[in-house]
Structure formats: structure tokens, C-alpha cells
Structure 1
Amino acid sequence: MYVIFSFLLLALMIGALVDIIRSDEGRIKHLPKIVWVLLVVFLPLIGSVLWFVIGREYDRRPAENVSFGDPRRWHREPPAAPAAGPPKDTRSTEEQLAELEREIEYYERLRRPDQTP
């Protein structure tokens, strides 16, 4: 019984250490990478469990839909069309400047209420 527990604990510890070392710094939560390594080495059971529960960030992407059987059916969805950017302004530069000047005049009149529009 103790031998099985020891091997399971060793496997869990090695798995946690490999996962910590291979993880990117941006995907590690709460503590720096070296602290997680030391925690797993000095407290193998608690450190490993804590690592897998709260220390690592898991992907939130949905799993890919792969059908079993005929490989020709393993199609992927085509990539989505690129999002359209902001609408193009088709006015000429002179028209844009004239509109800006009208807007400036409007706000200047609002600022000075003693003049009538």
C-alpha cells in the first residue's frame, strides 16, 4: 500500500514540476514560478495539488469538434471573415474641414449665450 502511494506521489510531483517548468510566466497565477517549484519539492502532496487547483491557468477555449471514423469528415470550420474596419469617410478634405468649422462655431456660440444664433 505504501509503495503504491509513494509511486503515485512521485508521479504527481514529477508531473507538477514538469508542468510548472514548461508553463509560460503569464499562465502562472498567485506566486512566481520558482516559489511553485520549491513548494512542490518541499511539500510534494500539498504543493502539487495546489499547483493543479489554483496555480495554473487553464485554457477557456472550447475543445475542437473532431469526429471519429472517416478522416475525410474531420473538417474544420472555415475561418471567419475578417471583421470590417470602421466605415470609410468618403467626404473630401474640404468638406470635412467645413464641417469642423461649423462645429467649432456652434460650440463657441453655446459658450457665449449673450449672442443670438
Structure 2
Amino acid sequence: MRNLLALVVVGLIVYTVIDVVRSDERERLGLHKVLWVAFIVLLPVIGSVTWLLVRRTPGRRPGPGPGIRTVPQAPLAPDDDPEFLWRLEQERRRREREAGGAGPTSRTDPSDPTPPAAGPPADPADPTPTS
């Protein structure tokens, strides 16, 4: 029985050391690999259990393994899509101009089909000239 317990502890140490070495900085809570390995080797049971608890905390999803690239995902909802929001704002401004009978007050042309390169739509109340 005593030998089985020692074998389990050694297996736990080996598993957690390999897991620490293969982890990224985000999973290690910003600590260096050497510090985690030293903690696990010096305090085998406490260090290994602590690593397993820190590594498996809810709310943090582990990223892809080494060598795997992630592809940026498209927005899941229309209100997450900057191009959709830009078009919606242009349509709202066009309706306001048509309803009010006033001339164009916006610095952006609503008939322009291309969205701005980056950033939020221009604010018509902002007196700062652009370009």
C-alpha cells in the first residue's frame, strides 16, 4: 500500500511538471515555469494540487495547443459588426435629413457605399474638421 501511494505521488508530480512545461503564461497566472516546477518538486502534493486547481479554474478556457493558429471569427450578432453599425448610423442620418428638410449636416456622405477604414462613425456635432 505504501509503495502504491508513493507511485501515485510520483505520477502526479510527473504529470503536473509536464503540464506546467507545456502551458502558456496565461494559464500559469503570469508566473514563470521554473517557479511552478520548483513549487511542485519542493512541495509535491500541495504544489501539484495547487497547479491542478489553478490550471482548471472556471471562467478561463485554455487556448489551442502549441502550433495551432486561431482564425478570427466574424461577429456573432449584427450589433457586434462595425460595418453594420456604420451603415445603420448612415441610414439614421439620411432619414433625419429627409424628415427635417435640412441640407447635409454630416461630414460623411450617406450615399458612399464604403465604410470608414477604422473607428466609429464621425460625429456630426463635432466641429473639428477632418482630413
TM-score range relative to shorter protein: 0.5 to 0.7
Displacement of 1:30 in angstroms is 6.7
Percent identity over the alignment? 29
Alpha-carbon RMSD across the aligned residues, in angstroms, is 3.6
Distance 1:29 1:100 in 2: 45
Runs of 5+ unmatched residues, structure 1: 63-79, 105-117
Post-superposition Cα deviations, 1:11-47, rounded to whole Å, max 9, x if no partner, equal 1101111111111111112733211111112221121
- AA aligned to 1:82 is L
Residues 15-34 of structure 1 mapped to structure 2, 5 A cutoff: 15-29=15-29, 31-34=31-34
Is the aligned partner of 1:56 residue 2:55? yes
Counterparts in 2 of 1:46 and 1:21: CA distance versus 1, 3 Å: same
The whole-number CA distance in structure 1 between the counterparts of 2:32 and 2:44 is 17
Give the whole-Å Cα distance in 2 for the aligned partners of 1:44 and 1:23. 19
Task: Indicate the structure whose relative CO is greater, using CA pairs within 8 Å and at least 6 residues apart.
Answer: 1
Aligned length: 85
> Map of 1:3-22 to 2, 5 A cutoff?
3-22=3-22
Uncovered stretches (5+) of structure 2, i.e. residues with no partner: 62-73, 98-102, 108-122
TM-score using structure 2 length: 0.49
> In terms of Rg, which structure is larger?
1
TM-score by length of 1: 0.54
Q: Secondary structure at the match of 1:94?
A: coil
Provide the rounded CA distance (Å) in 2 between the counterparts of 1:32 and 1:61: 19
What do residues 92-113 of structure 1 show as CA deviations (whole Å, max 9, x unaligned)?
893315x947x87xxxxxxxxx
Matching residue of 2:77:
83
In 2, Cα distance between equivalents of 1:26 and 1:36? 13
Confirm or deny: 8 A CA contact 1:28 1:57 kept in the other structure: no
Find the residue that maps to 1:40 and give its secondary structure.
helix
The answer to whether the 8 A contact 2:106-2:124 is kept is yes
| Cα 1:81–1:52 shift into 2, 3 Å | closer
Tell me which protein shows more helix as a share of its residues. 1
